[in-house]
């Protein structure tokens, strides 16, 4: 089993995908509850219940996180996750009711496949029904179904992306990440080599977005967002988890460039359901490492879809 988010005890991951429409949902289930935090650094986010995850809020735990395609329309998928959890008696107790706490975030995938088809309540429920502690599905599945990168020349010259997962262990401490990469910018491996960038309209060779922006003054375009979930078995409170989120974003900055732009809605959640004693700096640095690894796997595990080629299809053609 490849290391991934489900290495953390109590976490299940489920996906629902529509490959024809190129959209989908990824659900991270923590039915018994987990402490959570969030950090939004992109300037075009689409989110649900993220204010609840700030320090000083009443509710300390969540029962699920939802990542979905469909732009703002995809936020509807969380309703299906709420229904699934309510039927199982999971959630924050208020009188005789249990209210599932399900924050989420969406990415823009309307310009690939069929943009009239968006994740909804049924797809969110289906993702929960198929969730497991098995290997995390990777590639063009779930919320990564319609993910692409390197879009400065438009979708016709972009590279297919998806979702990836990675984990690290040091003694008893485990830190893991799941990332869905739908960036405006390019993806680099951990040695700094270009993995996926926009294809030149004349030659088809991959270029570097930053070179195009600095050299020609080219501008970006809306319709992007990289989403991530970092989880650990360390016993961290919400302020500490907030710091982990901040450090985890460094993993995006090491792997995606440009990142955190006005055209992206980059958002990372963090979860803690364990009680292992660990220094928050160590957890945060491990978080940056696993986020970087998950970004790379999101690119290398993706296959072509709806006419957008994956890196694996371009090998030997550059």
**What percentage of the chain reaches a pLDDT higher than 70?**
98
Lowest mean pLDDT among 55-59, 218-222, 258-262: 218-222
Q: Which residues of 77-93 are buried (b: 16+ CB within 10 A; e: fewer)?
A: bbbbbbebbeeeebbbe
pLDDT higher than 90, residue 9: yes
Q: pLDDT grade, residue 318 (50/70/90)?
A: low
Q: How far is CA 255 from CA 39, 192, 268, 271, 297, in A?
A: 18, 8, 14, 22, 11
Q: What is the CATH number of the domain that holds 128?
A: 3.60.70.12
Answer whether 188's CB lies under 8 Å from 257's CB.
yes
Structural domain containing residue 127: 5-313
At CA 49, angle to CA 251 and CA 242, rounded to 5?
Answer: 35
- Average pLDDT in the 287-292 region? 98
Domain count, the chain: 1
pLDDT higher than 70, residue 246: yes
Considering the entire predicted model, what is its pTM? 0.96
Q: What's the CA gap between 284 and 244, in Å, rounded?
A: 4
Decide if 263 is inside a domain: yes
pLDDT higher than 80, residue 316: no
Decide if 275 is inside a domain: yes
Decide if 318 is inside a domain: no
Q: pLDDT grade, residue 158 (50/70/90)?
A: very high
Answer whether 269's CB lies under 8 Å from 103's CB.
yes
Q: Which residues of 194-203 are buried (b: 16+ CB within 10 A; e: fewer)?
A: bbbbbbeeee
- According to the model, what pLDDT value does residue 1 have? 62
Decide if 307 is inside a domain: yes
Q: pLDDT grade, residue 314 (50/70/90)?
A: confident
Decide if 138 is inside a domain: yes
Q: How far is CA 221 from CA 187, 203, 255, 257, in A?
A: 17, 22, 20, 15
pLDDT higher than 70, residue 10: yes
- According to the model, what pLDDT value does residue 317 have? 54
- According to the model, what pLDDT value does residue 216 have? 80
* 226 φ, ψ (degrees, to nearest 5): -110, 130
């Amino acid at each position: 089993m490849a290391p991934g988010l489900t290495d953390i005890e109590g976490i299940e991951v489920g996906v629902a995908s529509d490959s024809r429409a190129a959209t989908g949902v990824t659900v991270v289930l923590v039915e018994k509850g987990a402490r959570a935090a969030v950090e939004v650094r992109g300037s075009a986010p689409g989110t649900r219940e993220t204010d609840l995850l700030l320090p000083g809020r009443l509710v300390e735990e969540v029962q699920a996180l939802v990542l979905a395609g469909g732009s703002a329309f995809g936020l509807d998928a969380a309703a299906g996750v709420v229904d699934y959890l309510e039927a199982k008696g999971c959630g924050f107790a208020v009188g005789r009711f249990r209210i599932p706490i399900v924050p989420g975030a969406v990415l823009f995938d309307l310009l690939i496949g069929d943009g009239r088809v968006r994740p909804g309540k049924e797809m969110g429920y289906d993702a929960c029904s198929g969730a497991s502690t098995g290997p995390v599905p990777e590639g063009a599945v779930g919320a990564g179904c319609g993910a692409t990168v390197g879009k400065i020349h438009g979708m016709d010259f972009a590279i297919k992306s998806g979702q990836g997962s990675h984990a690290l262990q040091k003694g008893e401490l485990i830190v893991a990440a799941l990332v869905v990469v739908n960036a405006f910018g390019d993806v680099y491996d951990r040695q700094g080599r270009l993995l996926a960038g926009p294809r030149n309209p004349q030659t088809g060779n991959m270029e570097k977005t930053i070179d195009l922006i600095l050299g020609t003054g080219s501008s970006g375009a809306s319709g992007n967002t990289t989403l991530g979930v970092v989880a650990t078995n360390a016993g961290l409170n919400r302020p500490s988890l907030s710091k982990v989120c901040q450090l985890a974003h460094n993993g995006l900055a090491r792997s995606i460039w440009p990142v955190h732009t006005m055209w992206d809605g980059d958002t990372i959640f963090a979860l803690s359901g364990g009680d292992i004693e660990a220094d928050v700096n160590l957890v945060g640095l491990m978080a940056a490492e696993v986020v970087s690894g998950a970004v790379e796997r999101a690119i290398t595990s993706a296959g072509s879809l709806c006419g957008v080629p994956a890196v694996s299809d371009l090998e030997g053609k550059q």
